[in-house]
Amino acid sequence: MVEATAIECVWEGRALLGAAPLWCPERGDAGQLLFVDTLASRRYAYDLASGKTHSWALDETCCGLARVAGGSARSPDGATLYRSDTPAGVIHAFDLDAQGNPARQREHIRFPSTQGYPDGMACDREGGLWVAHWEGGRISRFLPDGRLDETLTLSASRVTACAFGGAELDQLFITTAATGRDDETAAGGLFRCRPGVAGLSVAEYASDVILPDAI
Protein backbone atom coordinates (compact mmCIF):
# COMPACT_ATOMS: atom_id res chain seq x y z
CA MET A 1 0.00 0.00 0.00
CA VAL A 2 1.32 3.43 -0.94
CA GLU A 3 1.01 6.04 1.80
CA ALA A 4 -0.63 9.32 0.76
CA THR A 5 2.47 11.20 1.94
CA ALA A 6 4.55 9.23 -0.56
CA ILE A 7 2.64 10.67 -3.53
CA GLU A 8 4.49 13.84 -4.50
CA CYS A 9 3.66 16.56 -6.99
CA VAL A 10 6.82 16.90 -9.09
CA TRP A 11 5.47 19.64 -11.36
CA GLU A 12 3.01 22.28 -10.18
CA GLY A 13 2.27 23.95 -13.50
CA ARG A 14 -1.48 23.82 -14.02
CA ALA A 15 -2.10 21.77 -17.15
CA LEU A 16 -5.66 22.34 -18.31
CA LEU A 17 -5.89 18.73 -19.47
CA GLY A 18 -2.72 16.74 -18.83
CA ALA A 19 -2.70 13.54 -20.86
CA ALA A 20 -0.76 10.79 -22.66
CA PRO A 21 2.22 10.34 -20.30
CA LEU A 22 5.02 8.41 -21.99
CA TRP A 23 8.32 7.35 -20.42
CA CYS A 24 11.32 7.79 -22.74
CA PRO A 25 14.48 6.32 -21.14
CA GLU A 26 16.76 7.50 -23.95
CA ARG A 27 16.09 11.19 -23.37
CA GLY A 28 18.17 13.28 -20.96
CA ASP A 29 20.66 11.83 -18.48
CA ALA A 30 18.19 9.59 -16.66
CA GLY A 31 15.11 9.56 -18.90
CA GLN A 32 12.18 11.92 -19.34
CA LEU A 33 8.45 11.65 -18.81
CA LEU A 34 6.65 13.19 -21.77
CA PHE A 35 3.07 14.38 -21.53
CA VAL A 36 0.77 16.87 -23.22
CA ASP A 37 -1.88 19.45 -22.38
CA THR A 38 -4.40 18.94 -25.15
CA LEU A 39 -6.54 21.96 -24.25
CA ALA A 40 -3.62 24.39 -24.11
CA SER A 41 -1.83 22.75 -27.07
CA ARG A 42 1.40 22.35 -25.09
CA ARG A 43 3.82 19.44 -24.79
CA TYR A 44 6.04 18.83 -21.77
CA ALA A 45 9.11 16.86 -20.75
CA TYR A 46 9.77 16.19 -17.08
CA ASP A 47 13.49 15.44 -16.74
CA LEU A 48 14.14 12.88 -14.01
CA ALA A 49 17.77 13.89 -13.40
CA SER A 50 17.22 17.64 -13.01
CA GLY A 51 13.62 17.64 -11.81
CA LYS A 52 12.84 20.37 -14.35
CA THR A 53 9.96 20.43 -16.80
CA HIS A 54 10.33 21.92 -20.28
CA SER A 55 7.51 22.96 -22.60
CA TRP A 56 6.90 23.39 -26.34
CA ALA A 57 3.96 24.21 -28.57
CA LEU A 58 1.92 21.20 -29.65
CA ASP A 59 0.41 20.83 -33.11
CA GLU A 60 -3.06 19.45 -33.77
CA THR A 61 -1.72 16.10 -35.03
CA CYS A 62 -0.12 15.43 -31.66
CA CYS A 63 -3.27 16.51 -29.84
CA GLY A 64 -5.23 13.91 -31.78
CA LEU A 65 -2.68 11.21 -30.98
CA ALA A 66 -2.84 12.04 -27.27
CA ARG A 67 -6.64 11.90 -27.19
CA VAL A 68 -6.65 8.44 -28.80
CA ALA A 69 -3.72 6.91 -26.93
CA GLY A 70 -4.62 7.73 -23.33
CA GLY A 71 -7.38 5.26 -22.45
CA SER A 72 -5.99 1.86 -23.36
CA ALA A 73 -3.44 -0.68 -22.12
CA ARG A 74 -2.26 -4.22 -22.88
CA SER A 75 -1.76 -7.08 -20.47
CA PRO A 76 1.83 -8.32 -19.91
CA ASP A 77 1.30 -11.36 -22.14
CA GLY A 78 -0.13 -9.20 -24.93
CA ALA A 79 -3.30 -11.28 -25.06
CA THR A 80 -5.74 -8.71 -23.66
CA LEU A 81 -6.47 -5.10 -24.52
CA TYR A 82 -8.20 -2.86 -21.99
CA ARG A 83 -9.96 0.31 -23.10
CA SER A 84 -11.89 2.85 -21.09
CA ASP A 85 -15.26 4.24 -22.14
CA THR A 86 -15.12 7.29 -19.89
CA PRO A 87 -18.66 8.69 -20.39
CA ALA A 88 -20.18 5.24 -19.74
CA GLY A 89 -17.98 4.60 -16.70
CA VAL A 90 -16.86 1.24 -18.09
CA ILE A 91 -13.58 -0.47 -18.95
CA HIS A 92 -13.90 -3.04 -21.72
CA ALA A 93 -11.57 -5.97 -22.32
CA PHE A 94 -10.78 -7.46 -25.72
CA ASP A 95 -8.93 -10.58 -26.78
CA LEU A 96 -5.96 -9.88 -29.08
CA ASP A 97 -4.80 -12.31 -31.75
CA ALA A 98 -1.19 -12.76 -32.89
CA GLN A 99 -1.54 -9.77 -35.23
CA GLY A 100 -2.94 -7.55 -32.48
CA ASN A 101 -6.51 -7.56 -33.80
CA PRO A 102 -9.14 -7.16 -31.04
CA ALA A 103 -12.12 -9.48 -30.64
CA ARG A 104 -14.69 -10.56 -28.05
CA GLN A 105 -15.42 -7.22 -26.45
CA ARG A 106 -16.76 -7.56 -22.92
CA GLU A 107 -17.38 -5.42 -19.88
CA HIS A 108 -14.43 -5.82 -17.52
CA ILE A 109 -14.93 -3.15 -14.83
CA ARG A 110 -17.81 -0.76 -14.16
CA PHE A 111 -17.15 2.28 -12.01
CA PRO A 112 -19.71 3.34 -9.38
CA SER A 113 -20.77 6.93 -10.04
CA THR A 114 -19.36 7.93 -6.65
CA GLN A 115 -15.83 7.01 -7.80
CA GLY A 116 -15.65 9.08 -10.97
CA TYR A 117 -15.02 7.77 -14.47
CA PRO A 118 -12.23 5.57 -15.89
CA ASP A 119 -9.69 7.44 -18.01
CA GLY A 120 -6.04 6.68 -18.84
CA MET A 121 -4.43 3.46 -17.67
CA ALA A 122 -1.28 1.34 -17.54
CA CYS A 123 -0.51 -2.33 -16.81
CA ASP A 124 2.22 -3.50 -14.45
CA ARG A 125 4.38 -6.62 -14.81
CA GLU A 126 2.10 -8.65 -12.56
CA GLY A 127 -0.95 -7.95 -14.70
CA GLY A 128 -2.40 -5.26 -12.45
CA LEU A 129 -4.29 -2.52 -14.27
CA TRP A 130 -3.76 1.01 -12.92
CA VAL A 131 -6.62 3.33 -13.87
CA ALA A 132 -7.05 7.10 -13.47
CA HIS A 133 -10.39 8.22 -12.00
CA TRP A 134 -11.61 11.36 -13.77
CA GLU A 135 -13.66 13.28 -11.18
CA GLY A 136 -12.66 10.65 -8.61
CA GLY A 137 -9.36 12.03 -7.31
CA ARG A 138 -7.58 8.71 -7.33
CA ILE A 139 -5.68 5.99 -9.14
CA SER A 140 -6.82 2.40 -8.62
CA ARG A 141 -5.12 -0.92 -9.27
CA PHE A 142 -7.34 -3.76 -10.45
CA LEU A 143 -6.38 -7.42 -10.57
CA PRO A 144 -6.61 -9.31 -13.89
CA ASP A 145 -10.03 -10.65 -12.88
CA GLY A 146 -11.31 -7.10 -12.39
CA ARG A 147 -11.28 -7.00 -8.59
CA LEU A 148 -10.11 -3.80 -6.90
CA ASP A 149 -6.70 -4.27 -5.26
CA GLU A 150 -5.50 -0.82 -4.19
CA THR A 151 -6.45 2.85 -4.39
CA LEU A 152 -4.14 5.89 -4.25
CA THR A 153 -5.77 9.21 -3.35
CA LEU A 154 -4.53 12.45 -4.94
CA SER A 155 -5.05 16.11 -4.08
CA ALA A 156 -6.57 16.73 -7.53
CA SER A 157 -9.99 15.41 -8.50
CA ARG A 158 -9.60 15.24 -12.28
CA VAL A 159 -7.03 12.48 -12.69
CA THR A 160 -6.40 11.75 -16.34
CA ALA A 161 -3.69 9.14 -16.97
CA CYS A 162 -0.67 7.28 -15.63
CA ALA A 163 2.56 5.72 -16.87
CA PHE A 164 5.46 3.83 -15.34
CA GLY A 165 8.93 5.34 -15.56
CA GLY A 166 12.39 5.47 -14.03
CA ALA A 167 15.37 3.20 -14.67
CA GLU A 168 13.54 0.17 -13.24
CA LEU A 169 10.06 1.30 -14.34
CA ASP A 170 9.15 1.32 -10.64
CA GLN A 171 7.83 4.87 -10.48
CA LEU A 172 4.25 5.71 -11.40
CA PHE A 173 3.69 9.14 -12.97
CA ILE A 174 0.17 10.57 -12.89
CA THR A 175 -1.28 13.44 -14.94
CA THR A 176 -4.23 15.58 -13.88
CA ALA A 177 -6.40 18.42 -15.19
CA ALA A 178 -6.94 21.96 -13.90
CA THR A 179 -9.84 22.83 -16.19
CA GLY A 180 -12.91 23.63 -14.08
CA ARG A 181 -10.93 23.20 -10.88
CA ASP A 182 -9.81 26.71 -9.89
CA ASP A 183 -10.34 25.85 -6.23
CA GLU A 184 -7.80 22.97 -6.28
CA THR A 185 -4.23 24.19 -5.89
CA ALA A 186 -2.70 20.90 -7.11
CA ALA A 187 -5.02 20.43 -10.10
CA GLY A 188 -3.15 20.10 -13.38
CA GLY A 189 0.05 18.98 -11.68
CA LEU A 190 2.23 15.95 -12.43
CA PHE A 191 2.40 13.46 -9.57
CA ARG A 192 4.75 10.57 -8.82
CA CYS A 193 4.90 7.63 -6.41
CA ARG A 194 6.57 4.22 -6.03
CA PRO A 195 3.71 1.72 -6.03
CA GLY A 196 5.82 -1.32 -5.11
CA VAL A 197 5.51 -2.99 -8.50
CA ALA A 198 7.23 -2.32 -11.82
CA GLY A 199 5.54 -1.43 -15.06
CA LEU A 200 5.94 -2.62 -18.63
CA SER A 201 8.16 -0.94 -21.19
CA VAL A 202 6.09 0.87 -23.78
CA ALA A 203 6.40 1.18 -27.54
CA GLU A 204 8.47 4.19 -28.59
CA TYR A 205 6.30 4.99 -31.60
CA ALA A 206 5.11 8.30 -30.16
CA SER A 207 8.37 9.74 -28.80
CA ASP A 208 9.42 11.56 -31.95
CA VAL A 209 5.88 12.77 -32.59
CA ILE A 210 5.28 14.31 -29.19
CA LEU A 211 8.64 16.02 -28.74
CA PRO A 212 11.65 17.07 -30.80
CA ASP A 213 15.13 15.73 -29.99
CA ALA A 214 16.00 15.42 -26.32
CA ILE A 215 17.28 18.54 -24.68
Question: Which helix H or strand E contains 61, and what residues bound it?
Answer: helix 60-69
Q: Any catalytic annotation for residue 182?
A: no
Contacts of 171 (CB under 8 A, 6+ apart): 164, 165, 192, 193, 194
CB 90 within 8 A of CB 117: no
DSSP state of 76: T
* CA 50 – CA 48 distance, rounded (Å): 6
Which residues, 6+ apart, have CB-to-CB distance to 202 below 8 Å? 22, 23, 163
Q: Find residue 191's DSSP bridge partners.
A: 9, 174
Give the Cα separation of 14 and 178 in Å (integer): 6
First-to-final CA distance of the chain: 35
Q: Which of 47, 85, 97, 119 is catalytic?
A: 119
H-type alpha helices, 151-200:
none
State the virtual CA torsion across 2, 127, 35, 193 in degrees, nearest 10: 10
Show which residues are catalytic. Answer: 119
